[in-house]
Amino acid sequence: GAGVSQSPSNKVTEKGKDVELRCDPISGHTALYWYRQSLGQGLEFLIYFQGNSAPDKSGLPSDRFSAERTGGSVSTLTIQRTQQEDSAVYLCASSQNRDKFYGYTFGSGTRLTVV
Amino acid sequence: DAKTTQPPSMDCAEGRAANLPCNHSTISGNEYVYWYRQIHSQGPQYIIHGLKNNETNEMASLIITEDRKSSTLILPHATLRDTAVYYCIVRLLGAYGQNFVFGPGTRLSVLP
């Protein structure tokens, strides 16, 4: 597609439920990143995928968070047993490769609200 | 990676130049300066980057001091649509993830 697509754009869930957030990167982009942004805060790195290499999961805040990237394209971020502090905008970005940093394109994000 | 310091907010009159400063006093010789902006409800958007020479593109100009300890992003003729949070980031070319840190940025308000 023309840009990075994320779905849903908004998600309200009850505390304790699991949620899945989806990211469709730009076609041909081998690198995919997940960030989250809490209200009024800067971006917090979560996880990075590059091609078929093992992902860098060092930013995931707890074992309730996991992510997959199937076929080197679409990625799903899963949050299990959601907590109120998980409420944030979750942003996905892709780039042709990690050295082409200025080709780093973000999606519009998924606003997650845990009630 | 070096950390950056930016003012939390700035105002600019529509049609005037917006000059957004950034301090990066601990920048290393092979770290680049990048600027992104985030308009409300959208993902961050790349603006410009540079190493040591001043740079200009269709969106903005980047002025980097000779000692590289600070830089200024210039929007030459600010419009209401330039109202956004502007992030100054320093990083190694090819770095990612934890090495790529977005601070709180500068909230620029362009006023009519």
Per-residue pLDDT tens over the stretch A34-59: 999 887 677 788 998 888 788 888 88
Query: At residue B16, what is the residue type?
Result: R
d(CA B111, CA B103): 24
Task: Number of A to B CB contacts under 8 A, please give it.
Answer: 61
Q: What angle do CA A85, A88, A93 make, to 5 degrees?
A: 135
Chain B residues with beta carbon closer than 8 angstroms to that of A90: none
Return the pLDDT at B44: 81
φ and ψ of A89, to 5 deg: -95, 125
Mean predicted lDDT score pLDDT of chain A: 88
Return the pLDDT at A70: 84
Return the pLDDT at B2: 58
Return the SS3 of A2. Answer: coil
Mean predicted lDDT score pLDDT of chain B: 89
The more confidently predicted of residues B43 and A35 is: A35
Pick the range with the lowest mean pLDDT from A16-20, B91-95, B107-111.
Answer: B91-95
Decide if pLDDT at B52 tops 80: yes
Return the pLDDT at B100: 63
Instruction: Compare all CA atoms of chain A with the CA of B39 and give the residue at the minimum distance.
Output: A108
Confidence of residue A100 (pLDDT cuts 50, 70, 90): very low
Decide if pLDDT at B93 tops 80: no
Return the pLDDT at B75: 97
The mean pLDDT of B84-105, rounded to a whole number, is 76
Chain A residues with beta carbon closer than 8 angstroms to that of B42: 106, 108-109
Instruction: Compare all CA atoms of chain A with the CA of B8 and give the residue at the minimum distance.
Output: A40
Cβ <8 Å between B98 and A58: yes
The more confidently predicted of residues B43 and A60 is: A60
Cβ <8 Å between A45 and B101: yes
Cis before residue B104, ω within 30 degrees of 0? Answer: no
Decide if pLDDT at A83 tops 70: yes
Inform me whether the C-beta atom of residue A59 falls under 8 Å from chain B C-beta atoms.
yes
Chain A residues with beta carbon closer than 8 angstroms to that of B43: 4, 91, 93, 105-109
Residues 13-32 of B with CB under 8 A from A: 32
Cβ <8 Å between B97 and A48: yes
Q: Least CB-CB distance to B43: which of A40, A102, A106?
A: A106
Cβ <8 Å between A93 and B49: no
Inform me whether the C-beta atom of residue A102 falls under 8 Å from chain B C-beta atoms.
yes
DSSP string, chain B: ----B--SEEEEETTSPEEEEEE-TT--TTEEEEEEEE-TTS--EEEEEESSS-EE-SS-EEEE-TTSSEEEEEETT--GGG-EEEEEEEEETT--GGGS-----EEEEEE-
